[in-house]
Amino acid sequence: MAEKEKLTIVVFSGELDKALAAFILATTGASMGMTVTMLFTFWGLNIIKKNEGGIKSKGLMRKMLNFMNRGGSKRLKLSRFHMLGLGTWMMKRLMKESNLPSIDEFIAMAKQMGVKMVPCSTSCGVMGLEQDAFRSEVESLAGAAYFLNEARQSKVTLFI
Amino acid sequence: MKADHTLDCVGLYCPMPIVKTAEKIKQLKPGEVLEIVADDKGIKEDMPAWCQTTGNQFLGVEEEGGEIKVYVKKKRP
């Protein structure tokens, strides 16, 4: 085969359902032999924040933001029918009953398949997030030029 | 249809049968046939599409009851 085809996904949203859609497409793309890059920006950063410990950031407003908007794959909510956690809990149960991997498992799977998960540097700057806010599977921060250069060479580009 | 290897994907939804197929096919020798047993109907469209993209050969589908069997022949490198 000639050069591998590329799939680039911008993950802007930080909800469970949208994260699921992004990871299903990313892992399928990798299974199809594509080179996959996921750029996480704004609320999407919550998906790849580490689950344990606190998020360190400087300044009162950023501290407040990262306290209220803690993130982490285990804290994601549904975009609809969250219902104070009941809806999300039920959806997670249904996913488990259907043998669907959790977001955590999807992240590990994606990493193993060579999917690159990149946090957007501008969002990180604004929100006061450093590399240590993220899980170990995540690549180093990059910006819009990196994304556009990837997207330019991609057969498929998605914004979720 | 005769197969050299079988992959059980019963009870799994998209994308897991495809992900597992991609993983499994690495273990096969070129020309060997992999049988994938599944019950998610999507596989009937997904597997030919996966084959078209990866260059492996899609041999066909067999259905009995709710069980769907699809056959893939590994390509030459």
Rounded to whole angstroms, how far apart are CA atoms A49 and B27?
35
The pLDDT tens digits for A123-141 are: 999 999 999 999 999 999 9
pLDDT score recorded for residue A53: 85
| Residue B72 forms part of a structural domain | yes
| Residue B6 forms part of a structural domain | no
Rounded to whole angstroms, how far apart are CA atoms A13 and A160?
6
pLDDT score recorded for residue A2: 60
pLDDT score recorded for residue A123: 92
- A33 interface with B at CB cutoff 8 Å: yes
| Residue B74 forms part of a structural domain | yes
- Is B51 marked active-site? no
Domain coverage including residue B60: 46-77
CA distances to A1, A157, B34, B46, B55 from B75, in Å = 11, 28, 11, 18, 6
**Please, what's the b/e burial string for B25-44 (b: 16 or more CB within 10 A of its CB; e: otherwise)?**
beebeeeebbbbbbebeebe
ipTM for the complex shown? 0.80
Confidence of residue A1 (pLDDT cuts 50, 70, 90): very low
| Residue B67 forms part of a structural domain | yes
Of A28, A100, A109, the CB nearest to B18: A28
| Residue B30 forms part of a structural domain | no
User: How many separate domains does chain B show?
Assistant: 1
Rounded to whole angstroms, how far apart are CA atoms B22 and B55?
12
User: Per the residue annotation, which of B14, B33, B59, B61 is the catalytic one?
Assistant: B14
What percent of chain A stands above pLDDT 70? 99
Q: All domains of chain A, ordered by start, with CATH?
A: 6-159 (3.40.1260.10)
Contact A114, A36 (CB under 8 A): yes
Rounded to whole angstroms, how far apart are CA atoms B34 and B72?
5
| Residue B24 forms part of a structural domain | no
The pLDDT tens digits for B13-28 are: 989 999 999 999 999 9
Rounded to whole angstroms, how far apart are CA atoms A69 and B4?
51
Question: Which of B8, B18, B19, B43 to mutate to test binding with chain A, by most A CBs within 10 Å of its CB?
Answer: B19
Could you tell me how many helices (H) and strands (E) chain A has, helices first? Answer: 7, 4
Distance from CA of A33 to the nearest CA of B (A): 6
Answer yes or no: is pLDDT of A3 > 80.
no
Confidence of residue A110 (pLDDT cuts 50, 70, 90): very high
The pLDDT tens digits for B22-76 are: 999 999 999 999 999 999 989 999 999 999 999 999 999 999 988 999 999 999 9
